[in-house]
Amino acid sequence: MDYIFAGILKAFGLLFKGDPVTYAAVWTTVSVSSLSIFASLLMGIPLGFLLGRGRFPGKRTVRTMVDTLLSFPTVVIGLLVYALISRQGPLGEMGLLFTVPGMAIGQTILGLPIVVAVTATSVENLDRRLGQTLLTLGADSRQVLLSTIVEARYGLMLAAATAYGRIVSEVGISVMVGGNIKWHTRTITTAIALETGKGQFAMGIALGVVLMAIALLVNLGVGSLRRKVDQ
Amino acid sequence: MSGPICRIEQIRQEYSGKTVLDIDSLDIAKGGIVGLTGPNGSGKSTLLHILAFLEQPTQGNIFFQGQPCDAKTDGIRRKVSLLNQEPYLLKRSVGANVAYGLKVRGAPDISRRVDKALSLVGLNPDDFSSRAWYELSGGEAQRVALAARLVLEPELLLLDEPTASLDEESASLVKSASLKARERGMTLVVASHDMEWLKAVCDTTIDIVNGRLRER
User: How confident is the model over B49-92, as pLDDT tens digits?
Assistant: 999 999 999 999 999 999 999 988 988 999 999 999 889 999 99
- Interface touch A230/B132, C-beta < 8 Å: yes
Which of chain A's residues have a Cβ under 8 Å away from the Cβ of B91?
150-151, 153, 230
* H helical segments located in chain A: 2-16, 20-53, 59-69, 74-85, 100-124, 129-136, 141-151, 153-169, 172-173, 188-197, 201-230
The minimal CB distance from A136 to the residues B82, B86, B90 is found for B82
Taking CA–CA distances from A135, the nearest residue in chain B reads B77
The minimal CB distance from A136 to the residues B52, B92, B105 is found for B52
B156 confidence band (pLDDT: 50, 70, 90): very high
Averaged pLDDT, B12-28 = 94
CB distance from A228 to chain B under 8 Å?
Answer: no
User: How confident is the model over A3-44, as pLDDT tens digits?
Assistant: 778 777 877 787 788 889 888 999 999 999 999 999 999 999
Which of chain A's residues have a Cβ under 8 Å away from the Cβ of B51?
none
User: How confident is the model over A152-187, as pLDDT tens digits?
Assistant: 988 899 899 999 999 999 999 999 999 999 999 999
B2 confidence band (pLDDT: 50, 70, 90): low
* CA-only gyration radius of chain B, Å: 17
CB distance from B88 to chain A under 8 Å?
Answer: yes
> DSSP readout, B72-87?
TSTTGGGTEEEE-SSP
CA distance A77 to B9: 61
CB distance from B149 to chain A under 8 Å?
Answer: yes
Look up the CATH number of domain A2-230.
1.10.3720.10
Residue A202 has pLDDT above 90, yes or no: no
Instruction: Please tell me the distance in Å from B150's CA to the nearest CA on chain A.
Output: 10
- Interface touch B152/A138, C-beta < 8 Å: yes
CA distance B209 to A37: 57
CB distance from A125 to chain B under 8 Å?
Answer: no
CA distance A80 to A78: 6
Helix (H) or strand (E) run with residue A72 in it: none
Which of chain B's residues have a Cβ under 8 Å away from the Cβ of A146?
none
For residues A59 and A47, the answer to whether their CB atoms sit within 8 Å is no
CA distance B150 to B165: 19
- Interface touch B78/A138, C-beta < 8 Å: yes
A231 confidence band (pLDDT: 50, 70, 90): low
3-state secondary structure of A178: helix
Instruction: Please tell me the distance in Å from B62's CA to the nearest CA on chain A.
Output: 17
- Interface touch A147/B86, C-beta < 8 Å: no
CB distance from B101 to chain A under 8 Å?
Answer: yes
CA distance B142 to B82: 13
Taking CA–CA distances from B156, the nearest residue in chain A reads A136
Nearest to A164 by CA among A206, A204, A108: A108
CA distance B171 to B88: 19
Residue A228 has pLDDT above 80, yes or no: no
Complex confidence, ipTM: 0.92
Instruction: Please tell me the distance in Å from A153's CA to the nearest CA on chain B.
Output: 10
User: How confident is the model over A97-156, as pLDDT tens digits?
Assistant: 999 999 999 999 999 999 999 999 999 999 989 999 999 999 999 999 999 999 998 889
pLDDT on residue B166:
82
* H helical segments located in chain B: 44-51, 94-105, 110-120, 125-128, 138-150, 168-183, 195-201
Q: How many CB atoms lie within 10 A of CB B211?
A: 22
Q: What is the pLDDT of chain B when averaged over all its residues?
A: 92
pLDDT on residue B1:
45
The minimal CB distance from A137 to the residues B86, B92, B148 is found for B148
Taking CA–CA distances from A146, the nearest residue in chain B reads B104
Q: Best residue in B74, B89, B90 to probe A by mutation, most A CBs within 10 Å? A: B90
pLDDT on residue B145:
96
- How many whole angstroms from its chain centre is CA A115? 9
CA distance B145 to B94: 9
Which of chain B's residues have a Cβ under 8 Å away from the Cβ of A153?
91
pLDDT on residue B42:
93
Which of chain B's residues have a Cβ under 8 Å away from the Cβ of A130?
88, 90
Going from the C-alpha of A2 to that of each of A5, A12, A202, the distances in angstroms are 5, 16, 12
Which of chain B's residues have a Cβ under 8 Å away from the Cβ of A133?
84, 87-88, 90
Sheet strand arrangement including B59-64: B18-28, B6-15, B59-64, B67-69
pLDDT on residue B216:
57
DSSP state at residue B186? -
3-state secondary structure of B48: helix
Nearest to A26 by CA among A227, A162, A210: A210
CB distance from A231 to chain B under 8 Å?
Answer: yes
- Per-domain residue ranges for chain A? 2-230
- Interface touch B93/A135, C-beta < 8 Å: no
pLDDT on residue A16:
85
Going from the C-alpha of B26 to that of each of A3, A78, B29, B34, B51, the distances in angstroms are 86, 67, 10, 11, 11
CA distance A114 to A92: 27
Q: How many CB atoms lie within 10 A of CB B159?
A: 27
Residue B215 has pLDDT above 60, yes or no: no
A203 confidence band (pLDDT: 50, 70, 90): confident
**What are the two backbone dihedrals, phi and then psi, of residue B92, each rounded to the nearest 5 degrees?**
-145, 180
Q: Does the reported pTM lie above 0.90?
A: no
Counting Cα atoms < 13 Å in the Cβ hemisphere of A87 gives: 0
CB distance from B105 to chain A under 8 Å?
Answer: yes
